[in-house]
Amino acid sequence: MATIINGKELSKKIRMQVKEKVQELNKERIKPKLAVIMVGEDKASKIYLKNKSKACNEVGIEYEEFILNENIKMDELLELIRTLNEKKDIHGILLQSPIPKHLDIYKAFQTIDYRKDVDGFHPINIGRLVLNKQTFISCTPYGIIKMLEEYKIQLQGANVVILGRSNIVGKPLAQCLLNKDATVTICHSKTKNIEEITKKADIIISAIGKPKYVTENMVKQGAVVIDVGINRLETGEIVGDVDYEKVQEKASYITPVPGGVGPMTIAMLLNNVVIATKHLEQK
Amino acid sequence: MATIINGKELSKKIRMQVKEKVQELNKERIKPKLAVIMVGEDKASKIYLKNKSKACNEVGIEYEEFILNENIKMDELLELIRTLNEKKDIHGILLQSPIPKHLDIYKAFQTIDYRKDVDGFHPINIGRLVLNKQTFISCTPYGIIKMLEEYKIQLQGANVVILGRSNIVGKPLAQCLLNKDATVTICHSKTKNIEEITKKADIIISAIGKPKYVTENMVKQGAVVIDVGINRLETGEIVGDVDYEKVQEKASYITPVPGGVGPMTIAMLLNNVVIATKHLEQK
């Protein structure tokens, strides 16, 4: 039976560390602050924002929300971003996706001051990650790396297979792992013989959003299995991309859903806000 | 026996196309111009510069060289770059590497106006490549993609193994291939069981700089083999990373060295200068 990688526990530990760092900054009269922009009334986004707000509050990071009407024009969105870029009391800016389709999210991300880009979505921060330079790493990949490190899972030379090539998870994660000397394979919807590829993997990381897609016949005995998926079944149950019950019998380490990667993402966001604050305040 | 991918021939074709585009621009009184910076007296770099100068000349791209003393300070290098950034008659800026070790090449690349970054080394251009947005693609990976396309080699769903993870070849190439829907694996010095991985590849691209490293037992029957290596043996002979004689008997397509990837790199540089010119002059 696999060891369960407890993301909930680890995220608590990281949030405690962030809290201490915030308190140190407070002693120097620096108050880390995150600004969050939401456009429209997406239900899931509202829940995410509530969680982020709560998490900030718990560690002492100031939090301000900017809720824009779904009919807003691109110029107005960019104008708000530029205003927040200028504000000295704001250290991190986060644009909650999705945004309505008439808006260009890429342009919006690129307009955020890269020094306040705590989500790591600005192309310059992505480029710096590729070059293995100091940057903001997207919160989910960053959280996954932290988990693997916490459980002392060997990355150097490990054969890692990533399922999914999104800009938010798959692509930055591949860079992070390459920077840690892993051999990285990125699979996606066009990949052939995917089972043959995953069966060779020392570490499988699934981020494709298909419930119970990764079955035990795709997993090598003793592999590490990281599940980024958060899929809601018709029954209302939340499951990952991995057929957890069966795969855990074969894996050496596995992340549960919920309580695995999910809680790490917010913890790393808080961590990124502190990093941004220290840089901007030159501490 | 493998079909030989003739990089020399294809690069000629591309240079002819570039020449035509330059002539069209000339009609509108626009003269594409490349500025090249070299620091110190590296012998190989001098040869590269001579080749670049000649290639520019042949297609009608204006070319200016800035040779700096090897003891130059970082500020002076950055000052020159900033001056070239400002100059309206210069459309492309290339910093020849290597530069002396007391200088920060990354900072230099980052200082080049990304709109004139015809080598595609600026982090913002790397980030845009990751995001599959319009950008300057590094010349060698770009040349490889052009070759594969010219010979109608299926990339979608192809299992591609890249040997080498340099910022100049391996990493941007992986992004290009991912953008073309290939399944991409990046191997490097820390990879274990490399032979097992390459044997599964539909396409092997080697960019590690080890003479005759890729032997026939590493190659699947019918695989496409692209050789980026340019290695000088003690005898003076130039060979690639691939044991060409034996591998060609197994491969379906193969690039020779010389006459394969090499000539494509300069052709794509010229192409990037034209792209930069059109963008800057808004044509």
ipTM: 0.95
Asked whether the bond before B211 is cis by omega within 30 degrees of 0, the reply is no
Cα–Cα distance measured from residue B253 to residue B151, given in angstroms and rounded to the nearest whole number: 9
The token pair that represents A137 in the structure block: 């790493």
Question: Which pLDDT value is given to residue B282?
Answer: 86
Q: Identify whether A269 is part of a domain.
A: no
DSSP state of A214: B
A102 and A145 fall within a common domain = no
Task: For residue A94, list its beta bridge partners.
Answer: A36
B257 and B146 fall within a common domain = yes
DSSP state of B76: H
**Mutation to test the B interface, candidates A137, A154, A159, A183, most B Cβ within 10 Å:** A183
Nearest CA in chain B to A124: B124
Q: Identify whether B19 is part of a domain.
A: no
- Beta pairing class for A231-232 and B33-39: unpaired
Q: Identify whether A279 is part of a domain.
A: no
Which listed residue (A33, A116, A117, A119) is catalytic?
A119
Cα–Cα distance measured from residue B57 to residue A255, given in angstroms and rounded to the nearest whole number: 59
- Say how many CA atoms lie within 13 Å of A265 toward its Cβ: 21
A119 is catalytic: yes
* Contact between A68 and A103 (Cβ < 8 Å): no
By CB atoms closer than 10 A (0-12, 13-18, 19+), residue A181 is middle
A68 and A172 fall within a common domain = no
Residues of A with Cβ-Cβ distance to B197 under 8 angstroms: 159, 183
Could you read off the pLDDT of B100-145 as tens digits, one per residue?
A: 999 999 999 999 999 999 999 999 999 999 999 999 999 999 999 9
Domain harbouring B161, CATH code: 3.40.50.720
Q: How many domains does chain A have?
A: 2
B107 and B146 fall within a common domain = no
Q: Identify whether A156 is part of a domain.
A: yes
**Mutation to test the B interface, candidates A106, A131, A208, most B Cβ within 10 Å:** A131
* Contact between B215 and B198 (Cβ < 8 Å): no
Q: Residue A150 belongs to what domain range?
A: 139-262
pTM, to two decimals: 0.96
Q: How confident is the model at residue B62 (pLDDT cuts 50, 70, 90)?
A: very high
Cα–Cα distance measured from residue B2 to residue A56, given in angstroms and rounded to the nearest whole number: 60
Q: Identify whether A191 is part of a domain.
A: yes
Q: Identify whether A152 is part of a domain.
A: yes
* pLDDT of B180 above 80: yes
Hey, is the C-beta of B107 within 8 angstroms of any chain A C-beta? no
Cα–Cα distance measured from residue B149 to residue B153, given in angstroms and rounded to the nearest whole number: 6
- Beta pairing class for A159-163 and B159-163: unpaired
* Contact between B264 and B140 (Cβ < 8 Å): yes
DSSP state of B44: H
Q: Give pLDDT tens digits along chain A (283 positions).
A: 999 999 999 999 999 999 999 999 999 999 999 999 999 989 989 999 999 999 999 999 999 999 999 999 999 999 999 999 999 999 999 999 999 999 999 999 999 999 999 999 999 999 999 999 999 999 999 999 999 999 999 999 999 999 999 999 999 999 999 999 999 999 999 999 999 999 999 999 999 999 999 999 999 999 999 999 999 999 999 999 999 999 999 999 999 999 999 999 999 999 999 999 999 998 7
Hey, is the C-beta of B101 within 8 angstroms of any chain A C-beta? no
Q: Identify whether A17 is part of a domain.
A: no
B68 and B153 fall within a common domain = no
Average per-residue pLDDT in chain B? Answer: 97
Q: Identify whether B240 is part of a domain.
A: yes
Nearest to residue B281, comparing CAs of B17, B76, B64, B27? Answer: B27
**Mutation to test the B interface, candidates A117, A124, A208, most B Cβ within 10 Å:** A124
Question: Which pLDDT value is given to residue A247?
Answer: 98
A235 and A169 fall within a common domain = yes
Average pLDDT estimate for B49-70: 97
Nearest to residue B97, comparing CAs of B32, B174, B36, B54? Answer: B36
Hey, is the C-beta of B186 within 8 angstroms of any chain A C-beta? yes
Q: Please, which residues 200-259 of chain A have a Cβ atom closer than 8 Å to chain B?
A: 200
B75 is catalytic: no
From A123, A133, A167, residue closest to B106, measured CB to CB = A133
